[in-house]
């Protein structure tokens, strides 16, 4: 950030009074600009024992498979955002059932939330952010072609939970370790 969104003056990084972190601050109008993690919302949508996957038509990870997911928009709940992303990316109206996975990804300032959802039909109509959408059985998941670690982790939990029929809330964090 270079300029204040309130008054357009240049901002500086400093620790504001009463705070403990560097923030972008405008010394002209006094506004403190907080930067917070982004929420990525998605679904593990099923129909007839199969799982919905979308092939990405955008970077990052163009051409790789993912669960339908994307960034939360202002004015929506997390469940609404997850359902919206599923409709936008696969053309599937997802009936949201419950929150299933919360995975923090601190190195990219994100938290990923995946909801369990069901579809009332197997009809697919991929949107412009998807090259394709498919239904796969647990045995058909293309593990080596998955776009993101959060997607792989969520799918592993889901497939492990299937035999017991219990779908508890899972939480974890994916931490980046630079290569030496």
CB 82 within 8 A of CB 41: yes
Q: How many Å apart are CA 68 and CA 41, to the nearest integer? A: 8
For domain 38-173, say whether CATH 3.40.30.10 is its number: no
State the Cα angle at 14 between 36 and 30, rounded to 5°.
85
pLDDT digits 0-9 by tens, 50-107: 999 999 999 999 999 999 999 999 999 999 999 999 999 999 999 999 999 999 999 9
Task: Give the torsion through C-alpha atoms of 53, 124, 116, 110, to 10 deg.
Answer: 50
Selection from 100, 119, 115 nearest residue 48 by Cα: 119
pLDDT digits 0-9 by tens, 118-146: 999 999 999 999 999 999 999 999 999 99
The whole-number pLDDT of residue 158 equals 98
Where in 76-160 does DSSP place strands (E)?
A: 94-105, 110-119, 130-136
Measure Cα distances from 127 to 43, 58, 84, 148 in Å. Answer: 16, 11, 12, 20
- 2: tokens are 């270079």
The whole-number pLDDT of residue 178 equals 74
The whole-number pLDDT of residue 176 equals 86
For domain 1-35, say whether CATH 2.20.70.10 is its number: yes
For the chain, the structural domain boundaries read 1-35, 38-173
Strand bridging mode 94-105 / 69-71 = unpaired
**Average pLDDT value over all residues in the chain:** 96
CB 63 within 8 A of CB 55: yes
- Taking only Cα atoms into account, the Rg of the chain, rounded to an integer number of angstroms, comes to 19
- 101: tokens are 């996975």
The whole-number pLDDT of residue 62 equals 98
Tokens 């405008």 -> residue: 26
């Amino acid at each position: 950030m270079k300029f204040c969104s309130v008054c357009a003056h240049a901002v500086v990084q400093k620790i504001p009074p009463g705070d403990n972190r560097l923030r972008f601050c405008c010394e002209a109008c006094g506004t403190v600009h907080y930067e917070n993690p982004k929420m990525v919302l998605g679904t593990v949508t099923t129909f007839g024992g199969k799982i919905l996957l979308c092939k990405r038509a955008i970077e990052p990870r163009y051409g790789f498979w993912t669960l339908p997911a994307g960034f939360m928009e202002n004015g929506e709940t997390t469940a609404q955002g997850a359902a919206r992303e599923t409709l936008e990316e696969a053309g599937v109206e997802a009936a949201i059932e419950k929150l299933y996975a919360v995975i923090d990804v601190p190195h990219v300032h994100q938290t990923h939330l995946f909801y369990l959802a069901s579809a009332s039909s197997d009809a697919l109509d991929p949107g412009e952010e998807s090259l394709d959408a498919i239904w796969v059985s647990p045995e058909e998941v293309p593990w080596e072609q998955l776009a993101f670690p959060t997607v792989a982790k969520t799918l592993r939990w889901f497939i492990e939970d299937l035999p017991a029929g219990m779908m508890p809330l899972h939480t974890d964090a994916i931490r980046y370790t630079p290569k030496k």
